[in-house]
A and B are shown apart, each in its own frame.
Chain A
């Protein structure tokens, strides 16, 4: 019984993505997304899971946090976000990876860590 429940849940998650497992965008666990121009009519057209993502992303949020809040595996979050981004309904913020050799960004990270309350 438990086995069946587990399996059906697993199938459902990937059925949502139409069987796709690879997002079109490069999305890391820490990648932040946000909705640049919220459109309630667009939201109403979405499947429940995508709608929940779209609503949560009205405030800037990471993929990892979306996964936790919605209890949806990260791989599925990636594909759904990628679809919303392709429709230009969700903005994907840059990650530090793009700046890994940028001394200014690293310096700002270091400064921020130094300013943390001890």
Chain B
């Protein structure tokens, strides 16, 4: 920490952290980012000028009117010196290459599931189970405020390991989204304790 690059006034030091919201297309990632973010979710389309052109077909049945070309992110200033960023993963398969970059350094991930289209989130669960060290939990998004399948059925359908926390949330509700984020952070803390601090 003796670098001259360090600001003279260390009170200006701010730590930023990141949580990733993952899941397939139309499961409510943008909604949940927007529900707790202090800024309107920013769309990172700008990064994607080389990779993404055109838009994805939106299932007319989903009632989704905005199209996510790339990924959205939001910001929560938790303390004056601690800022949390929430990043929604790009749902489309052709953006898989971005997941590693996006997930690097994340405290954890919440995989959102829509039980009406559970298969939309298979790929995200696979990714965090097999291709990533980032701790993750799964949250069933209750679009209409109620749960259409019980959680055991969802766990079975996702072939989710018993140790992975499974919860519910309403992506539109800030309190509910915040709760899911709390569950994730608690889970990450428990993992840190059981792994032991390096």
A106's partner among B12, B46, B101, B189 (CB-CB below 8 A) is B189
What 0/1 readout, one digit per residue, does chain A (13-48) give for beta carbons within 8 Å of chain B? 000000000000000111110101100000000000
Q: Is B47 an interface residue (CB 8 A)?
A: yes
Task: Assess the B49–A73 pair: CB atoms within 8 A.
Answer: yes
Question: Which residues, 26 to 75 on A, are CB-close (under 8 Å) to B?
Answer: 28-32, 34, 36-37, 60, 62, 64-65, 67-68, 70-75
Q: Which residue of B lies closest to A87 (CB)?
A: B5
Looking at chain B's contact residues, the main secondary structure is mixed
The residues of A that contact B16 with a CB separation of less than 8 Å are: 30-32, 62, 93, 95-96
What 0/1 readout, one digit per residue, does chain B (1-14) give for beta carbons within 8 Å of chain A? 00011111100111
The residues of B that contact A32 with a CB separation of less than 8 Å are: 14, 16, 83
Question: Which residues, 79 to 105 on A, are CB-close (under 8 Å) to B?
Answer: 85, 88, 91-97, 99-103, 105
Q: Which of B54-62, B120-128, B180-188 contacts A (4 or more CB under 8 A)?
A: B180-188
Task: Assess the A30–B49 pair: CB atoms within 8 A.
Answer: no
Q: Is B168 an interface residue (CB 8 A)?
A: no
Q: Is A1 an interface residue (CB 8 A)?
A: no
Task: Assess the B102–A29 pair: CB atoms within 8 A.
Answer: yes
How many residues in A have their beta carbons less than 8 Å from beta carbons of B? 51
B49's partner among A10, A113, A117 (CB-CB below 8 A) is A10
Q: Which residue of A lies closest to B51 (CB)?
A: A73
Task: Assess the A113–B188 pair: CB atoms within 8 A.
Answer: no
Question: Which residues, 3 to 46 on B, are CB-close (under 8 Å) to A?
Answer: 4-9, 12-18, 36, 42-44, 46
Q: Which residue of A lies closest to B189 (CB)?
A: A106
A59 CB to nearest B CB, Å = 11
A109 to B9, CA, bound (A): 23
A102 CB to nearest B CB, Å = 7
What 0/1 readout, one digit per residue, does chain B (68-88) give for beta carbons within 8 Å of chain A? 000001011011001111010
Task: Assess the B175–A73 pair: CB atoms within 8 A.
Answer: no
Task: Assess the B84–A109 pair: CB atoms within 8 A.
Answer: yes
Q: Is B193 an interface residue (CB 8 A)?
A: yes
Q: Is B151 an interface residue (CB 8 A)?
A: no
Task: Assess the B175–A118 pair: CB atoms within 8 A.
Answer: yes
B5's partner among A85, A96, A100, A110 (CB-CB below 8 A) is A85
Can you name 26 A-B pairs with beta carbons within 8 Å?
A30-B85, A34-B7, A34-B14, A62-B83, A62-B85, A67-B47, A68-B43, A70-B46, A73-B48, A73-B49, A88-B5, A93-B16, A95-B16, A95-B17, A96-B17, A96-B18, A96-B105, A96-B107, A97-B104, A97-B105, A105-B17, A107-B189, A108-B78, A109-B107, A113-B84, A116-B76
